[in-house]
Amino acid sequence: MKIDVLTLFPEMFSPLNASILKKAQEKQLIDINIINIRDFSKNIHKQCDDTPFGGGAGMVMMCDPIFNAIEHVKTAQSKILCMSPRGIVFGQSIAKDLSKFDHLIILCGHYEGIDQRVIEYFQIQEISIGDYVLTGGELPAMVIVDAVCRLVPNVIKNESIENESFTNDLLEYDQYTRPSEYKGMKVPQVLLEGNHAKIDEFRKNNSLNATKKNRPELYEKYLKEKK
Ligand SMILES: C[S@@+](CC[C@H](N)C(=O)[O-])C[C@H]1O[C@@H](n2cnc3c(N)ncnc32)[C@H](O)[C@@H]1O
């Protein structure tokens, strides 16, 4: 999978060059390119933003540099996304859908956002990472890149993906590792006994309880779909 991220602040993206995503890029399972929109401004001062028509606070990212940047990377297969608090709210099922594309282009807004004509012309899917407003689309873009890339085949073990939170609308069960006792706190005995049927049963109940407590709406959905 190839991902082109279009941003005015490429220096913010170093976290994508660490850990699992770093290894996935080294193995050429994913190809992440951070592209500076400013390089596509034809303005002598490399200007990329201007004041909003109709008045109001802040600056708006201009059409032309973004148009040029998108045209530079776009192919017939590209899926184009824009980070925006006005977008549909991102979740695991959207991550799964996006992981099936060969090429994603992710546009990061900044300031007051992006001239609407860009969104309409390229039929861009606006995506929000939650109901709050950040200073820019760079952190949301990294959230999308991380969540999508770990679902690309062979980036992490299939087994890890099959049994994690949001599979079948449930949150994952509690996890423990060595030592079996720490500051007087013991790991549940069933996890130490090697009886896999009992471990599965324990984990299923634990997962149901965690979902009921932390995400009652998911728990209700799970019960409804089970009927
Ligand atoms: C300060 S915000 C603009 C907010 C916009 N004026 C509004 O009220 O909807 C600047 C940029 O940050 C990004 N952004 C902020 N919050 C976001 C969120 N919750 N999800 C995705 N992107 C977000 C978007 O790219 C946005 O264009």
pLDDT 10s digits, 133-161: 999 999 999 999 999 999 999 999 999 99
Pocket of ligand 1 contains residue 203 by CB under 6 Å:
no
Residue 85 DSSP code? E
Tell me, yes or no, whether 50 and 80 share the same domain. yes
Phi, psi (deg, nearest 5) at residue 164: -105, 180
CA 144 to chain centre: 2
- Domain membership of residue 86 (yes or no) is yes
**172 shares a domain with 143:** no
Q: Is any atom of ligand 1 closer than 6 Å to the C-beta of 58?
A: no
Q: Flag whether 157 is in a domain.
A: no
Residue 171 C-beta-side C-alpha neighbours within 13 Å: 16
Residue nearest to atom 15 of ligand 1 (CA): 134
Q: 10 Å Cβ neighbour count for 217?
A: 9
d(CA 208, CA 125): 34
End-to-end, the C-alpha distance of the chain in Å comes to: 38
Verify that 135 and 176 share a domain, yes or no. Answer: no
Q: What is the pLDDT of residues 88-106, one digit of tens each?
A: 999 999 999 999 999 999 9
Based on the domain organization, do 178 and 109 belong to the same domain?
no
Q: What is the pLDDT of residues 171-186, one digit of tens each?
A: 999 999 999 999 999 9
- Boundary residue ending a domain (105, 124, 149): 149
Q: Which of 122, 149, 176 is the last residue of a domain?
A: 149
Whole-model pTM: value is 0.97
Phi, psi of 202 (to 5 degrees): -60, -45
The whole domain housing 128 covers 2-149
The count of domains in the chain is 2
